[in-house]
């Protein structure tokens, strides 16, 4: 009895200790993220902060009827839909390239990774010089007789931002792929070699299957980073960009200025729900695709 009590006591103490270690983090996360997010959900469901009557889905309906929100959501969605697949595929190609027997691999790795450490604010000057109406790109293209384009105020604006996004993010993704390419069992690839499998077969049937958790991770990471491209857009074009570059973060900034809590809260809740759904879909897809290698 005594011993058992002591053991129980010990476990209890361990539990208390463990929450002691977790305490600071839990307190902060609760205070700055979880509790206020609960309030955000509440705000999104009431008429106004002065008139806290249940409003049903009215705030969400208002939000979807708001033309700036629709523009921002459309642009952000379109950008992510282009940027994420490209980021995944191109960084995988870079990783495969560095898998091959080429000289100065580690230097190449450093070079490819280097843009991640450059603050956007620092490099934005060069981008301005390149993509300006009288900028380098137009000067270069004029050699081939192409008319001048005001890149950041044209239909191509998202493509320009896409280039900046890829420039900054490919290196990080590439490292993730490189690390996991190394983890593929060598024997498997050797067996495939002996049996005369083609390079394409080896890639799709073996490598890609083993990489599927990494593909999932890189996809999620690129998705999150694609929302941060506001930085580039803002630093290049300011508060009021060309309509094609008006992102969700611009919408949030402008809504913060008028401090419309209901609109802000509804937008944050919608974004959170959209993220959870997207990530769940990605998880399920990966689960299906990578099932037989993980077991």
Partner 1 sequence: MAKKKRRMLGRAALTVLAAAFAIAFLLPTVLTITNSFMTKAEIDANYGIVFSGGAQGGSSTYMSETVNLKFIPDKVSLSQYWTTLFQSPEYLLKFWNSVILVVPIVLLQVAIAALAAYSFTRYRTKFKAVLFFFYVILMLMPYQVTLVPNYLVSDWLGILNTRWAIILPGAFAPFSVFLLTKFMRRIPKALIEAAKLDGAGEWQIFSRICLPQCRSALYSIAILVFIDYWNMVEQPLILLPDAEQQPLSVYLSTINAGEIGLAFAVATIYMIPSLLLFLHGEEYLVEGIAHSGSVKG
User: Footprint of partner 1 on residues 45-84 (CB under 8 A)?
Assistant: none
Kindly state whether residue 19 participates in binding partner 1, applying the rule CB under 8 A. yes
* Token pair 């697949």: residue: 85
Region 80-119 residues binding partner 1, contact defined as CB under 8 A: 94, 97-98, 100-103, 107-119
Instruction: Give whichever of 123 and 192 is closer to partner 1, judged by the CB atom.
Output: 123
- Tally Cβ neighbours within 10 Å of residue 294: 11
Q: C-beta of 223: minimal distance to partner 1 in Å?
A: 8
Q: How far is CA 7 from the centre of its chain?
A: 47
CB distance 83 to 226 below 8 Å? yes
Question: Which among 94, 45, 76, 108 has a CA at the least distance from the CA of 266?
Answer: 45
Region 264-283 residues binding partner 1, contact defined as CB under 8 A: 264-265, 267-268, 271-272, 275-276, 279
What is the pattern of x (binds partner 1, CB under 8 A) and - over residues 142-161? Answer: --------------------
Kindly state whether residue 238 participates in binding partner 1, applying the rule CB under 8 A. yes
CB distance 254 to 53 below 8 Å? no
* Token pair 């008429």: residue: 47
Interface with partner 1: number of residues (CB under 8 A): 97
Segment holding 283, helix H or strand E: helix 261-289
Q: How far apart are CA 295 and CA 282, in angstroms?
A: 19
Instruction: Give whichever of 42 and 204 is closer to partner 1, judged by the CB atom.
Output: 42
Q: C-beta of 1: minimal distance to partner 1 in Å?
A: 24
Region 175-204 residues binding partner 1, contact defined as CB under 8 A: 175-176, 178-180
Q: How far apart are CA 208 and CA 96, in angstroms?
A: 11
CB distance 207 to 184 below 8 Å? yes
Q: C-beta of 108: minimal distance to partner 1 in Å?
A: 5
Q: C-beta of 238: minimal distance to partner 1 in Å?
A: 8
Stretch that binds partner 1, among 1-9, 151-159, 189-197, 222-230 (CB under 8 A): 222-230
Region 117-136 residues binding partner 1, contact defined as CB under 8 A: 117-130, 132, 134-136
Would you say how long the chain is, in residues? Answer: 295
CB distance 289 to 212 below 8 Å? yes
Instruction: Give whichever of 1 and 178 is closer to partner 1, judged by the CB atom.
Output: 178
Strand, helix or coil at 143? coil
Q: C-beta of 261: minimal distance to partner 1 in Å?
A: 8
Contacting residue, 138, 169, 222, 262, with partner 1 by CB under 8 A: 138
């Amino acid at each position: 009895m005594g011993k058992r009590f002591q053991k129980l006591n010990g476990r209890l103490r361990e539990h208390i200790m463990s929450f002691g270690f977790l305490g600071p983090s839990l307190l902060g996360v609760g205070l700055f993220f979880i509790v206020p997010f609960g309030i955000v959900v509440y705000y999104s469901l009431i008429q106004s902060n002065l008139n806290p009557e249940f409003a049903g889905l009215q705030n969400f309906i208002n939000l979807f009827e708001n033309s700036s929100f629709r523009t921002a959501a459309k642009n952000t969605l379109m950008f992510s839909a282009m940027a994420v697949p490209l980021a995944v595929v191109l960084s995988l190609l870079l990783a495969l390239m560095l898998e091959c027997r080429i000289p100065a691999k580690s230097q190449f790795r450093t070079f490819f990774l280097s843009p991640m450490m450059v603050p956007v604010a620092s490099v934005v000057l060069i981008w301005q010089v390149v993509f300006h109406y009288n900028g380098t790109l137009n000067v270069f293209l004029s050699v081939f007789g192409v008319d001048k384009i005001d890149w950041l105020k044209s239909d191509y604006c998202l493509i320009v931002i896409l280039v900046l996004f890829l420039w900054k993010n490919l290196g990080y993704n590439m490292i993730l792929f490189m690390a996991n390419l190394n983890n593929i069992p060598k024997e498997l690839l050797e067996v495939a070699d002996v049996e005369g499998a083609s390079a394409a077969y080896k890639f799709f049937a073996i490598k890609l299957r083993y990489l599927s958790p990494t593909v999932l991770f890189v996809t999620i990471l690129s998705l999150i980073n694609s929302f941060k491209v506001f930085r580039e857009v803002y630093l290049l074009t300011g508060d009021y960009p060309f309509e094609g570059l008006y992102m969700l973060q611009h919408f949030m900034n402008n809504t913060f200025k008028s401090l419309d809590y209901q609109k802000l809260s509804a937008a944050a809740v919608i974004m959170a729900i959209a993220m959870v759904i997207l990530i769940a879909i990605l998880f399920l897809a990966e689960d299906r695709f990578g099932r037989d290698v993980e077991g």
